[in-house]
Amino acid sequence: MINYKKIGFISLISLIGFMSQIGHAQIAAQTIPQFLVSWQADSYAPAWYQGKIFPTKDSQVDVSFELVDNGKPADLSKTAIRWYINDKLVKNEKDGLGIKYLKFIAADYPGQKTEIRISIPSYKNFGPLDKIISIPIVKPEAVINAVYPKGEIIAGQSVFEAIPFFFSAKNLNQIFYRWFVDNKEVSDLGENFNILDLNIPLEAPKGTVINIKTTIKNLFKELEFASESIRVSIR
């Protein structure tokens, strides 16, 4: 005769065991320490720019992290931490314990990514802990600031501003500007080379299209430059 009470008891024990395993797995998953990683590039961008500043080749990049354990920053002062750039070990416990930051010069070219791996061989009862981030390397950019709706200007004076982004130059003194109007370089830029004062004769026909181009270059790096072109018309 089938003992339904015994089967029910065994099933209950099995269910409790199964739920216990799920509970332990959930607790373990919740208590695995998490990496909080941040990075910052010293590429140039205007002070008003609020977006992420990306590195270009030869920019300095600062990376730092915290290991969050049960909601609090872990004490890693006596812990070995290893740093890798593109799988190459660049810093480990021989340099000291608890190193939570790395400074490096981006060697990759625009369009590539620099991979940073942070490895903690041993922390408490956990196995090795690793975190990998990829930092995109970008091309420098040139932007022409032209506050003219629909790209329309009137005869007389119009002002255009060239703005560099993501150059590895440390300051604006290292950046050189050139302006071209209808493919002819402008030689009399005045004191502010990033500003183009365009004077249109009053008799210029309405609807005339004018091509404006700027080229921005790092004076100390031959291959670090960017260009931007716009078209405006006389209304």
44 within a domain of the structure (yes/no)? yes
Neighbours of 104 (CB within 10 A): 18
Query: 153 and 102 in one domain?
Result: no
Query: 107 and 147 in one domain?
Result: no
- Quote the percentage of the chain above a pLDDT of 90: 80
Residue 25, classed as helix, strand or coil, is helix
Q: For residue 231, give the nearest of 177, 140, 164, 150 by alpha carbon.
A: 150
Residue 141 CA: distances (Å) to CA of 15, 26, 144: 62, 47, 10
The distance of Cα 231 from the centroid of its chain, to the nearest Å, equals 30
> How would you classify the pairing of strands 152-153 and 225-234?
parallel
Least trusted range by pLDDT, from 127-131, 148-152, 177-181, 187-191: 187-191
Domain that holds residue 150: 141-234
Per-residue pLDDT at 28: 47
pLDDT at 61 over 60: yes
The distance of Cα 10 from the centroid of its chain, to the nearest Å, equals 58
Query: 206 and 114 in one domain?
Result: no
pTM assigned to the model: 0.80
Q: How many domains does the chain have?
A: 2
Tokens describing residue 121 = 């061989």
- Quote the percentage of the chain above a pLDDT of 70: 87
